[in-house]
Structure 1
Amino acid sequence: MKKSLLVLFSFFACTTVAAQTTRNGFELISRPAQKQIDILYNGQLLTAYCYTDSIAKPFLYPVNTLGGITVTRGFPVKPIPGESTDHPHHVGIWMNYESVNGIDFWNNSSAIAAAKKEHYGTIVHQKILNQSASGRKATLGVTATWVNQAQETFLNEHTTYFFEIKDNRFYITRKTTLTALRNPVVFKDVKDGFFAIRLAKELEMPSATSKSFTDDKGNITTVPAPGTGVPTGMYYASNGKTGDAVWSSQGTWAMLKGKKDGASVTIAMFDHPSNTGYPTYWHARGYGLFALNPLGRAVFSNGRDSLNLVLQPGRSQTFTYRIVIAQQDLTIPEAAAMDAAFKQSRY
């Protein structure tokens, strides 16, 4: 009898401990040995802030829905059989640019030969400023520097990530302030930039043909045809354009809808009225690059528009963007409503 009571007591004691350790809401876990901070919700990984040495900038990776579906491509961090291996600099969610005082931050990766590295820049993580997590909201503040191969610093970066769960969707808002240091910093109008996510193969647009793309240095990257079986993606933009027509068009929001792991998935991206170049141009490619670029206006407008943003020494520019990850088939009215709410937000 006593033994039975002891077993019963032990069962309830373990149950109580398990209940006490169940994690509700957001939690940020630092893993300095891996150079990352995991962002969890109800104990499940939604994304991680990564600042590994092998990638030429900090980035969020992987990116998951609340239901656990990974929407980002695995390559080059954790390649998945059958996925594309083009553009090794496309990793998770990131922000950088192709021409900063003539230095290319966008295309830098381990694939660049050492002899050519002088033309490429790196965004170097400096420190974690602050982090907080409570219920359905979390924030992470970090700093970084934009440097060339000779370790000359062009820009200081201060970024705050705002994470939120709302309407069963994962909201990621990034507010980044770039400050020029001793010399003027010129962001020449070019194609490749600025805020981006590289999506999983299932969320690419179906295509039966391969395509080639050229950067500002004349380097050509060929993307093989993804086929018409696995890819299910389709772009929709606030300006009414869809598919490939979204590329180079202007709009306040765009979204990519598709299916992965048997579920509907929508990735929506929003510009904010406080940003330079609002409304942005969309650098949205069918092969899985979903980006906005407010700084490449001469390219996207075929010369009708231009910006060539210059930051004088000591001057700053702030950019605020939002990505919504939904394991849902969002409608255009829903995206428009989220856009209206974002316009009214203060960051």
Structure 2
Amino acid sequence: MKKFLLTVFALSANLLAESYKVDTIKTPLEIAPEIGGLAFNPSGELVVVTRRSGIQIAKTAKDPNGFQWRSFSDDSLHNPCGVQVISDSEMFISQMAELTKVSDTDKDGIADSYELISNEFGLSGNYHETNYILPDKKGGWYIAVGTASHNGPTFYHTQGEYKHNGRRGRNFAAVKWKGWVMHIDAKGKITPFAKGFRMHNGMGMSPDGKIFAGDNQGDWRGTSPIYHVQKDKFYGHPSALVWDEKFVKEVSDNPLFYYINNMKQYEKDRTPAAIELPQGMICNSPGEIIFDTKGNFGPFKGQAFVGDIAGPRIVRLMFEEVDGVMQGACIKFVEKKVRTGNNRLVFSPKGDELYVGQTVRGWGKPSEGIQRISFNGEMPDSIQKVELTQEGFHITFTKEKSPQDLANIANYAVQSYHYPSTHKYGSKPMDRKNIQITKVDVGSDKKSVLIHVNSLQTKRLYQIDVKNTLASCLDQARAIYKINRLQPGTVVKEVKIEKAEPATVKLSKGKDKVTVTVDGKLFTEFIQGPNKPCLYPVNGPNQENLTRHYPFKKGVKNEKPDHPWHTGIYFTFGKINDIDFWNTRTGKDKYIKNVDLQTDGSKILAHNQWIHNDKKVLSDITEITFSADSKKRFIDYKVTLNADTKDLVFGDTKEGMMAIRMDPSFKVSGQGATVLNSSGTSGKGVWGKEAKWVSYNNIQGSVISIMDHPKNLRHPSRWHARDYGLCATNPFGQNSYTKKKLAKDPFTLKKGQQITFQYRFAFHKETNDKDSINKLYNSWTQK
């Protein structure tokens, strides 16, 4: 089994602080540093190819402000995308329209010759058609010819043949060889090499001659891939096939519609990515790939780096060859210490510095220029590599760890999912599953572990999280491995679905609380919390904590002492007759108190009064029913509000109503949890949206699903669903949740009237996707 590692662009703060330094290089004021190519010439000078300021050359210095600059060419090039330096006076540059040899024939330091090598790949005039070159080490090149975008036009007069049927789709190939990797020999002869790319704005060659290309999330790209490029293979974007004469003649002259209507054939025909970079988590837009061949840039010799154009990061990719196919893992390497726009990369002649050329063309925050990352010789504390075994995953760290920490199975979590490739733009991770870790073997080197898992499948990504004390010193603690092939001899285990066994729910009433147990273990307690009744704590099926401890317990690790009115699970509202019962910080003038508490089998019956300035404003009757089996826990709230003293006006506010403040492990920001609603919206986008349910999933595999009953007023409700762990469903905030796009719509409950709301909290370990949560939802609402 042949193995090597690829590193993709994105550095962590810890890694940089200890082992790497980032400098921003000062460039001349008269140039626009939109970098299209970086290289070093034989004299050790940095060659910088720009979009509008020609070709600049610098004698480097330790001081980032001390570079000595000179102009090699002031002529503006046509969106240059790659450079190969041959000598101090010769270089090849790929422009949008052609591959050009630029030379200084009289050796005066100024370019005076621009020789066309090839322009047979066509030009439509669309801004999206990038052309990156990779030397083939035989005097020729591979050139990555990008497709055009629907966001820009094509010209009436094009370079090369134009096809009307190539103008279809979001990204298209109206002129020849768009969406292909072509080969150009030393004499300029161009031949097709591989097809089916979208915007492969960067390639790289491994030390053993393998070619890799990144591509961008978009149509036919669920997330950004890194491909192992091989001759005549199809890489999944159908637009390129209009220039495949055999396909057009024998299959279809409309490859886009052909594959939309034949997805099974599409999956059979396309070559999958060797690595996939989860969008928003690892990398958003990969650029140039470069390998560390000298080993002077830390413990990563043989690995490569690729820039994230749409994010401030570098990601490390760990490739290995399994059963003749390339695959492997990705992990962030540097993040936020570099700017966005990381388009082009080059190592210094010694190999201990990585230069980053930056430009942003509308896909992120404006950023341009050059930065330098220098290794100081200090060993970083990192996951060095991840390898697939017959049993699971072998993880090697760069530094020794405590054998006890390495052996602790609780210090690891594994999930799997996949990104489908369709004509739609991008995809969310689909069919997310929690993978059981059955065993951990510790290596004798105290730097490695073998994680045994109960399920390995091809065509899936496996997210491996290192946690707790073992993760405390790591610069990054998450790696994602893409399985294309299993190791030969792997026993494919039949995953047995364990049936849920009945469980016994018992309620025990004390003086001022009710304790709820499931099979003798604590589920939750109903208590009079600060200013209002609530359920706290809440434990899951495996006794995992699911709610934040603060304000009941202070100083708990990873908890922030914010919003002390977020108390477990509770029901309240922030604008009843302009009284804020939500933010009951003081409690002296407004609070909800329990005045009667009873139990009936598995049900709590509570009578509560809402008090303002020592006077009752309203009352409620709350019924809370508990149910469970061996795999799930349920809490059903039924709250009847009574306008027993006056008319009640429920104003427009985001602060309400049926709420839970979850354990910090459910934070989407920083803890890696995910959130999804019934409409398929995920992440921060769920906030303020209408939905039947909202469901959170932490990296440990616990899921909390909050559900709004169809009989509720203004169903489906809007959701005060934050990424830090608060989730509340609220029917009264349409103006607040839509940033005033919708008018305020207060609701009045007349004196003597009642209104009832019903909700369900489901605590489980089902897959957090629409199908699974809809089944749980329907099983509740269709009773």
TM-score, with structure 2 as normaliser: 0.35
Q: Matches of 1:303 and 1:284 in 2, distance apart?
A: 19
Q: Per-residue displacement from partner, 1:245-281 (whole Å, max 9, x unpaired)?
A: 000111111100113xxx3110001111110110000
2:761 counterpart residue number: 323
Structure 1 counterpart of 2:584, which letter?
N
1:161 equivalent to 2:637? Answer no
1:67 and 1:142 mapped to 2: Cα distance?
28
Tell me the secondary structure at the aligned position of residue 517 of structure 2: strand
1:253 aligns with 2:693: yes
The AA in structure 2 aligned to 1:44 is K
Encode CA deviations 1:149-179: one digit per residue, 9 max, x unaligned.
Answer: x221111110101111147210111000000
Max radius of gyration: which structure?
2
- Higher normalized helix content (fraction of residues): 1
Find the residue that maps to 1:61 and give its secondary structure: strand
Alignment of 1:1-347 (within 5 A): 25-32=504-511, 35-52=512-529, 55-79=530-554, 80-109=556-585, 112=586, 117-118=588-589, 121-132=590-601, 138-148=602-612, 150-166=613-629, 168-206=631-669, 228=670, 231-259=671-699, 263-301=700-738, 302-345=740-783
Q: CA deviation at 1:25?
A: 1.0
Aligned partners of 2:541 and 2:630 also within 8 Å: no
Cα shift readout 1:299-347 (whole Å, capped 9, x = no counterpart): 11334254311111110000000010114444321101122222223xx
Classify the secondary structure of the residue corresponding to 1:51: strand
**Amino acid in the other structure paired with 2:721:** A
Whole-Å Cα distance in 2 between the matches of residues 57 and 316 of structure 1?
20
SS in 1 for 2:531: coil
Note the alpha carbon deviations across 1:184-232, whole angstroms, 9 max, x for none.
01110111000111011111112xxxxxxxxxxxxxxxxxxxxx3xx12
- CA, structure 1 residues 124+186, in 2 after alignment: closer, same or farther (shift >3 Å)? same
Amino acid at match of 2:755: Q
Residues 65 and 327 of structure 1 are in contact (CA less than 8 Å); yes or no, is this contact kept in structure 2?
A: no
Letter in 2 for 1:144: N
Q: Distance in 1 between matches of 2:545 and 2:576?
A: 32
Determine helix, strand or coil for the equivalent of 1:340. helix
2:552 partner SS: coil
Query: Do 2:622 and 2:640's aligned partners in 1 also have CA atoms closer than 8 Å?
Result: yes
> Could you tell me how far apart the structure 2 residues matched to 1:39 and 1:238 are?
29
- State the Cα deviation string for residues 54-109 of structure 1 (Å, max 9, x = none): x1100000011011000111100013133111100001000100111111110003
Distance in 1 separating the partners of 2:782 and 2:744: 27
Residue in 1 aligned with 2:124?
Answer: none
Distance in structure 2 (CA, Å) of the matches to 1:190 and 1:82:
29
In structure 2, distance between residues paired with 1:187 and 1:282: 16
* Alpha-carbon distance, 1:182 to partner: 2.4
Structure 1 length as normaliser, TM-score?
0.77
Distance 1:329 1:343 in 2: 20
Q: Judge conservation of contact 2:676–2:769 (CA < 8 Å) in 1.
A: no
Equivalent pair of 1:265/1:329 in contact (CA under 8 Å): no
Aligned partner of 1:18 in structure 2 is none
Q: Residue type of the partner of 1:341?
A: S
| 1:339 aligned counterpart, secondary structure | helix
Could you tell which deviates more after superposition, 301-310 or 155-164? Answer: 301-310
Which digits, 9 at most, give the CA deviation of each residue in 1:91-137, with x for residues without a partner?
A: 1000100111111110003xx3x8xx54xx211101124321xxxxx
Gaps of 5+ in 2: 1-502
- Aligned partners of 1:194 and 1:310: how far apart in 2? 16
2:563 is aligned with what amino acid?
A: H
| 8 Å CA contact 1:196, 1:292 repeated in 2 | yes
Any unmatched runs of 5+ in structure 1?
1-23, 133-137, 207-227
Following superposition, the deviation at residue 28 of structure 1 comes to 1.1
Question: Does the C-alpha gap of structure 1 residues 167 and 82 become closer, same or farther in structure 2, counting only changes over 3 Å?
Answer: closer
SS at match of 1:62: strand
Q: Secondary structure at the match of 2:576?
A: coil
Q: What is the identity, as a one-letter code, of the residue corresponding to 2:719?
A: W
Report 1 or 2 for greater relative contact order, CA contacts < 8 Å, sequence distance ≥ 6.
1
Q: Name the SS for the 2:553 alignment partner.
A: coil
Cα distance in structure 2, aligned partners of 1:165 and 1:295: 31
**Secondary structure of the structure 2 residue equivalent to 1:85:** coil
Tell me the secondary structure at the aligned position of residue 60 of structure 1.
Answer: strand
Equivalent pair of 2:732/2:747 in contact (CA under 8 Å): yes
Secondary structure in 2 aligned to 1:101? coil
| CA–CA distance in structure 1, aligned partners of residues 513 and 522 of structure 2 | 13
State the match for 1:13 in structure 2: none
Out of 305-314 and 42-51, give the one that drifted further: 305-314
Query: Is the contact between residue 676 and residue 768 of structure 2 (CA under 8 Å) also seen in structure 1?
Result: no
User: Take 2:682 and 2:714, find their aligned partners in 1: how far apart are those partners?
Assistant: 22
What is the match of residue 220 of structure 1?
Answer: none
Q: Is the 8 A contact 2:696 2:768 kept in 1?
A: no
Matched to 2:702, the amino acid is V
Asked if the contact 2:618/2:645 (under 8 Å) is kept, the reply is no
Distance 2:716 2:629 in 1: 25
Report the Cα distance in structure 2 between the residues aligned to 1:303 and 1:95, rounded to whole angstroms. 27
Give the paired residue count: 279
Structure 2 contact 507–599 (Cα < 8 Å) conserved: no
